[in-house]
Amino acid sequence: MSLKPPLVWLITGTNSGFGRRLTQIALSRGDKVIATARSLEKLRAVKFESASKENLHLVQLDVTEGSTKVKEKIENAVKESWGKVSVLVNNAGSGSPAIAEEGEEIFRRAMETNFFGVMSVTNAVLPFMRAKKEGVIVTIGSRTAWKTPPNLVSQRFGSYRASKAAVHAWAETLAQEIKPFGLQGLIVAPGAFRTEGIYSNYWTPSNPISDYNPTRQKIDESFLSIGGTEPGDPSKAMNLLFQFVRQEGAFERKGFPENGYVYFGHDSEKNLEEACEANLSSLNAWRGYFKDIDIE
């Protein structure tokens, strides 16, 4: 599919990270952006260069407020701005480290933001896209959903991994459901990118279990050493995403991948290859043991 610019982007989580950079790129190219963030005060403090006020609409939105509230805010934002959404980018997300047995609360919180929040936002936008019979829904996923075996940091981020695996499965299903309306789904699976504050959501369990103390110490030491060492440049990544969605430059007439995924960064590609190899190895090692179980 090919969208005719200028496009109207609705991007969540725009006061930092991928969201802030993509908003800046879209504005610099003459597109229009409905930019959302949990804190309107922090969003207003962001200085988007060369951004004309008529092309930028700021909205306070906490994606975990519940579907009714999210729908109301998004409907109002669209109607108060340009009356349509060409591209939705589900970027807002969060993750705090937690050991599974200690962190049920953290797992639930991750699912509320990274899964149910994404669903609420998307369901609020879809009526506008279906009415126009055009649109792209971009979901920022994560390579951690398939990283095998998990290293110490991704192990501690089990809540994040679980929520991203869930949103991958949901986004795959959604892409098939919306295709008859002329809409396109896209899942972005980034590697490690040097975005601000990504390792700031530290959490101390309220119910620490002493048996996990050695594991927790190793994970914490690894977790705290990562910030500032990530290989990925978030500005380059978002510039490529912008070009891909608009099918420009190297992506002109390339279309969208059949499986709906794009893998951002050499580490994301490497982790996918490793996961595929590990799964095939396991399949071959156990092939035949569990197959003769059909009803006769």
Q: Amino acid identity, residue 79?
A: K
- Nearest-Å Rg of the Cα atoms of the chain is 20
Q: What is the Cα–Cα distance from 110 to 172, expressed in whole angstroms?
A: 20
Q: What is the Cα–Cα distance from 154 to 236, expressed in whole angstroms?
A: 24
Q: What is the Cα–Cα distance from 205 to 72, expressed in whole angstroms?
A: 35
Handedness of CA 72, 75, 78, 81 (dihedral sign): negative
| Annotation marks residue 160 as catalytic | yes
Q: Which of 160, 199, 261, 263 is catalytic?
A: 160
Catalytic residue numbers? 160
